Amino acid sequence: PSASGKGVTSRRLAQMLGLLTVDTGAMYRTLAWHCLRMKVDVNDDKKVAALCRKWKTSLVVADGHVRLLVDGYYPATEIRTSEASAAVAHVAQIRAVRDWMKAKQRECIQFGSLVMEGRDIGSNIFPETDYKFFLDASPEVRKFRRERDGVKEDVHARDKRDSQRAHSPLMPSLGAMIIDNSHQVVQETCDIMLEELNVRRKANRLAPLKPVA
Ligand code: C5P
C-alpha cells in the first residue's frame, strides 16, 4: 500500500544486491501524467486505453533504475504532483492499461535480475518468482509518513480504489513474506528480506541473483 516503504526499501535492497530496481508505480503515474497533458479524461476508460495503445515509450537503464520514457523523456517531478497522484488510480484500474503494463514490466527482465516494486508484482506480473515480499505498516504510521513527506493526498481513498478494483487488486500474493515495518528502520527491513532471500535460495537450490553484465 501507499507509504508502506516499498520504494525506499526496494532501492536499498537493490543496492545491497547489486541489482536494478523497477518502480512500476512510476509507470502508471507516467501514463496518468501523459493523459493530463494530452487532455484525455482519466475517467474515460476507452480514451485512456486508446492513448495507451499509441503512446511512444521506451525502457532505459539510468542510475540503477529501469525507467519508462515517453517521447524520450522521464517526467520525474511531474508524476509526483497531486494532480498525477489523484489521476493514477483511475488509469490503473483499466484492463487494457494493466495488460499493456504487464507486457512492458515483463520486458524489463532483459536487463537481468531485478527488484521490482508495485502492488501486483508477485500476484500478476511475475507470479513465478520465488522471491516475494508484501510490505505493510499501520494506517497511523502510513499517515504520519505521508504528512512528514509533505504530500497532501487522500491516500486512503487511493488504497481503497487499488484494493477494490476488479483487475489485479492490491493484496498479498501466495508465497509472499508479509512484513509490517511500522516500527522498523529501512535497514532492518532489508536485512530481514536478505535473510529470507538466502533461505529461499538455498531451500530451492536457486542460482545466485545477478544482473546481466
Ligand atoms: O507506488 P505508487 O504510489 O507510485 O503507485 C501509484 C499508483 O499506481 C497506485 O496507487 C496504483 O493505483 C497504481 N499501481 C498499480 N499497480 C502497480 C503499481 C502502481 O496499480 N504495480
What are 173-189's pLDDT values in tens digits? Answer: 989 999 999 999 999 99
Nearest CA to ligand 1 atom 5: 25
Phi, then psi, of 134 in degrees rounded to 5? -120, 110
Closest ligand 1 atom to Cα of 7:
1
Q: Look at ligand 1, atom 1, and give the residue with the nearest C-alpha.
A: 25
- Supply the pLDDT for residue 101: 98
More reliable by pLDDT, 33 or 146: 33
Which one, of 182, 207, 177, lies nearest residue 195 by Cα? 177
Ligand 1 centroid to 26 CA: how many Å?
7
Q: What is the mean pLDDT of residues 23-45?
A: 98
Predicted pLDDT at 108: 97
Question: Can you give the pTM of this predicted structure?
Answer: 0.93
For the ranges 128-137, 143-152, 189-198, which has the lowest average pLDDT? 143-152
Q: Which of 102, 127, 126, 111 is nearest to 52 (CA)?
A: 102
CA 2 to chain centre: 10
Atom 4, ligand 1: residue with shortest CA distance: 25
> Which three cell numbers, joined as nine digits, stand for 80?
509526483
First-residue to last-residue Cα distance in the chain: 33
Q: What is the pLDDT of residues 87-116, one digit of tens each?
A: 999 999 999 999 999 999 999 999 999 999
Atom number, ligand 1, closest to the C-alpha of residue 120: 21
- Which amino acid is residue 165, in one-letter code? R
